[in-house]
A and B are shown apart, each in its own frame.
Chain A
């Protein structure tokens, strides 16, 4: 697998790349320091041609063994360069309570990715939207965390006043 992207990041923003490794299937992964993620995304998109935003997600490492537990969360970024046919696999590791600079300004598509990560893992993005996407606003907790219980009930949400039904759920506060 080509490591062009990681080589370039290492050459151009050396302090950004905390760690890089090749996984068992031969793919290259880079761990980026969280304060540099915007710069790295910009570099990748604007100068290296990684302009296809693929996807974002996170991993809760709570149940992994030993040193892999810390920091707790690993936010994943996948970007693709179509000319070189190369996929960059980036990770940003954060602990609970730490936020990551948002890359919405660089990739429009990251908005929903970041909202997903916030919704399901509770990792906030500085300058991002940090609004739930698939769960409803009143939901308590972040369900893909490993310590989120599998069984149980969320509290009931009171029925909305009639006039809100015209505007639909979740639109409290919208100006008439």
Chain B
């Protein structure tokens, strides 16, 4: 201060008008957050700018992909650009050149404490029955910013604790902190502005607008994910698992060809839910409700043992028996076997399977099966309900195989096609119809993950693992190849498709380079596929050490060591437990 005065004193002329100081880094805004200099693009949010230097500003209502509401008041910070004595919401206030922001002063702490106290004032004592417990922001922030007893005297305000918004979503209005993330999501992202805030003051509730009566959107499940507390609940997941017992693995949704990135939350050898995983190029932070329920196919009606015989005559056979039975059938019809592959299988599966078709079965054409087309919309759902059609076509082309559509095969069954090898049991027509057609086949060998009418029609069903049980990749509709990670070992006696293909090739007398993992399959066979040649298989979708979204709880939080859940039942000497217990 004294220096300035000295400089100014000899200059009686008016001081230069107090304009904005020249930017320190042209094109960027330079400011100081908690004593650290931050250079950020203009328009960057204060919360994001603080994050880049490791200062955490807490928030409930802010979401990087939604509009700013600034109504939770949790992110208030001190800024030199603010009116003196006032705090500013970090989510809403733009960054200005030269501003000095403090996120950790007594005043800010007091503000956070007060906000937390108000938010918890009418919050029910629900942690023990709340699905969000363990991944709840109220809990996290209470321990960080409040940690004091309640001062409430008298009862809490009672609201509707179980209001069904639609078949998937339930709201517990008592738990809501009125951040309005869900309201904004439905309006801005789902483009279905059906939610609103009703009432005033402490009696405010989030509800469906009476004009709709029921939430109708294919993306309603996302409001459960973005709800920072346990107010919005997914009925499909509700009361089924405690969040801290689940482990998460980065994976992909198999519901359609969009290729939404997800986390698969699993415990033991069961998947409990899919949650969207951030990917700017494809699904942002969202996923569709149909995709969200795709995990059920992994848990239910699985083919856990290989089967031989059709319909009721089917009996479970061991792995060597299955190889033997399949080899005998294929040998008996050598040269006459048609090959059908489902685009639900991963690139690695198809690489091995097509190599098998080309080299062992000596084929030049393959038929494509797969799930029938479904509803598409202009956001995340595509009409093609198979995750890897593009990959299948790429690989077939590179292997010199002609891809023919399913109807050609369906019409030829019983006429020119007497024997069929199928990878995957998904067919784009009614399963009963196809099963009837398949009855005319004299030999029908297939790999299948789930039981269906189609598997009942096969002579030999080779039990196959799903994508969650192995490492691999899918190529989605726009040609982007993405990796998914293994969550747990294959259920039952099932094996991945690529393994079946390699073992059958070997037993048919073909000398294949033995591959011990899907990674080796990819490394060995992908260089011939131009679309996959440059794909960095090892670097994609790294596994987080700590669970994303949930405060760090290493596995084993239940007192049991990790390994129990990841690896299924341990092998205890002298005691063989049935699988899956």
Contacts and interface: CB of A to CB of B under 8 A. Distances in A.
Contact of B545 (A63, A149, A150, A153): A63
Interface in B518-570: 545, 556, 561-564, 567, 570
A150 B562 contact: yes
A151 interface: yes
Contacts of B562: 150
6 contacts: A65-B545, A150-B556, A151-B563, A151-B564, A153-B571, A153-B573
A150 B563 contact: yes
Interface in A126-151: 149-151
A171 B573 CA distance: 28
B545 A152 contact: no
Contacts of A153: 571, 573
Nearest to B562: A150
A153 to B, nearest CB: 6
A140 to B, nearest CB: 16
Contact of B563 (A63, A65, A149): A149
A149 B560 CA distance: 12
Nearest to A149: B563
A150 B561 contact: yes
Nearest to A63: B545
Nearest to B573: A153
Interface residues of A, number: 7
Contacts of B573: 153
Interface of B: 545, 556, 561-564, 567, 570-571, 573
B561 A151 contact: yes
Contacts of B571: 153
A152 B563 CA distance: 9
Interface string A33-76: 00000000000000000000000000000010100000000000
Looking at chain A's contact residues, the main secondary structure is loop
A164 to B, nearest CB: 24
Contacts of B570: 151-152
Nearest to A150: B561
A150 B571 CA distance: 13
A65 B564 CA distance: 25
Contacts of B567: 151
Nearest to B546: A65
A153 B545 CA distance: 25
A39 to B, nearest CB: 37
A161 B561 CA distance: 37
B484 to A, nearest CB: 23
Contacts of B564: 151
B142 to A, nearest CB: 24
Contacts of A152: 563, 570
Contacts of B545: 63, 65
Contacts of A63: 545
Nearest to A156: B573
7 closest cross-chain pairs (CB), A and B: A150-B561, A151-B563, A151-B561, A151-B570, A150-B563, A149-B563, A151-B564
A89 B339 CA distance: 68
A147 to B, nearest CB: 11
A149 B556 CA distance: 12
Nearest to B554: A63
A63 B555 CA distance: 13
A128 B12 CA distance: 82
Contacts of A150: 556, 561-563
Contacts of B561: 150-151
A153 B572 CA distance: 8
Nearest to B571: A153
A105 B570 CA distance: 45
Contacts of A65: 545
Contacts of A151: 561, 563-564, 567, 570
A152 B571 CA distance: 8
Nearest to B561: A150
Given A65-B545, A151-B563, A152-B570, 6 more contacts: A63-B545, A149-B563, A150-B562, A151-B564, A151-B567, A153-B571
B558 to A, nearest CB: 13
A144 to B, nearest CB: 14
Nearest to A153: B573
B269 to A, nearest CB: 15
B559 to A, nearest CB: 12
A151 B573 CA distance: 13
Most buried by B among A65, A150, A153: A150
A63 B546 CA distance: 10
Contacts of B556: 150
B547 to A, nearest CB: 14
A96 B189 CA distance: 50
A149 B562 CA distance: 8
B421 to A, nearest CB: 39
Nearest to A65: B545
A152 B570 CA distance: 7
Contacts of B563: 149-152
A92 to B, nearest CB: 25
A64 to B, nearest CB: 9
Nearest to B556: A150
A65 B562 CA distance: 19
A122 to B, nearest CB: 20
A63 to B, nearest CB: 7
A153 B573 CA distance: 9
B435 to A, nearest CB: 43
A41 B573 CA distance: 47
A153 B561 CA distance: 14
Nearest to B545: A63
A150 B545 CA distance: 17
Of A65, A151, A153, most buried by chain B (CB within 10 Å of CB) is A151
A149 B555 CA distance: 12
Nearest to A64: B545
A63 B567 CA distance: 20
Interface string A143-176: 0000001111100000000000000000000000
B48 to A, nearest CB: 21
Nearest to B560: A151
Nearest to B570: A151
A39 B131 CA distance: 59
A65 B570 CA distance: 30
B315 to A, nearest CB: 34
